[in-house]
Chains A and B, each alone.
Chain A
């Protein structure tokens, strides 16, 4: 069974600075997807970024980027130029690479605080 681990229950960062959230996973699959979701206080989860395991290039979405280390099964999220609106719970998630319909496996979440 696949597992996802986020070892940082809480993190804080100063506004405009950079923070990295850690995520490791375990799987025997060779092809899969990895995601970072953000859940602001309003509670709707929003997809931040995704990575296909077969792609070596790290995904980037504006101020958000990942460091994907497939051999180490590590998938960290870097937030640059942190903004107050980045404060949220962040979840790392894994999904098998089927055509459709496979479940997401989540980590425990990291609560990010952004200090002004």
Chain B
């Protein structure tokens, strides 16, 4: 079974540019999550999709962040325009709808550096 795939693995962009991160969850996983870890701090929740619908986007920091999940499959997270404080590692995770106490399967993350 393929895991959760994220790309790019690294991205370096200038302040004011746009970046799009992509996450391919495990096939059949209805739940898809985005998390972010800013250097040295805890991993924070950004948002949660159930299939193509946004179930919870309370963690999105501001309207420069836009997440989509096309047809309930892969998801993209766009940052436009990027600011210095957006630098960090962005993680995607997925889980089955029926999973109870199981943890999620995480991707390897995208390390975003805004200069």
Contact pattern, A 45-86, Cβ under 8 Å of B = 1, otherwise 0: 111001010000000000000000000000000000000000
Contact of A50 among B95, B101, B108, B111 (CB under 8 A): B101
Chain B residues 53-106 with CB under 8 Å of chain A are: 55-56, 59, 89, 91, 93, 95-104, 106
- Please determine whether B89 and A33 come into contact, CB atoms closer than 8 angstroms: no
Q: Is the CB of A44 within 8 A of B43?
A: no
Tell me, in angstroms, the Cα distance from A91 to B45 when the chains sit together. Answer: 14
B48 at the interface (CB under 8 A from A): yes
Query: In the complex the two chains form, what is the Cα distance from A109 to B107 in whole Å?
Result: 18
Interchain pairs with CB closer than 8 A, number? 70
User: What A residues does B98 contact at CB under 8 A?
Assistant: 99-100
Contact of A103 with B45 in the complex, beta carbons under 8 Å: yes
- Chain A residues, Cβ within 8 Å of B56: 103
Q: Which residues of A contact B108 (CB under 8 A)?
A: 42-44
Interface centre among B43, B56, B93, B107 (most CB of A within 10 A): B43
Is B103 a contact of A35 with CB atoms below 8 Å?
yes
Given contacts A43-B108, A101-B55, contact A37 B45 (CB under 8 A): no
Q: How far is the CA of A50 from the CA of B93 in the complex (A)?
A: 17
A47 and B103 contact, CB distance less than 8 A: yes
A46 vs B109: C-alpha distance when bound (angstroms): 12
Q: List 10 A-B contacts (CB under 8 A).
A: A37-B103, A44-B106, A95-B103, A100-B31, A100-B96, A100-B100, A101-B31, A101-B50, A103-B59, A104-B103
Q: Which residues of B are interface residues toward A (Cβ below 8 A)?
A: 3, 31, 33, 35, 40-45, 48, 50, 55-56, 59, 89, 91, 93, 95-104, 106-109, 111
**The 9 A-B residue pairs with the shortest CB-CB distance in the complex, in nearest-first order:** A47-B103, A106-B43, A45-B106, A44-B108, A33-B101, A103-B45, A108-B42, A43-B108, A106-B42
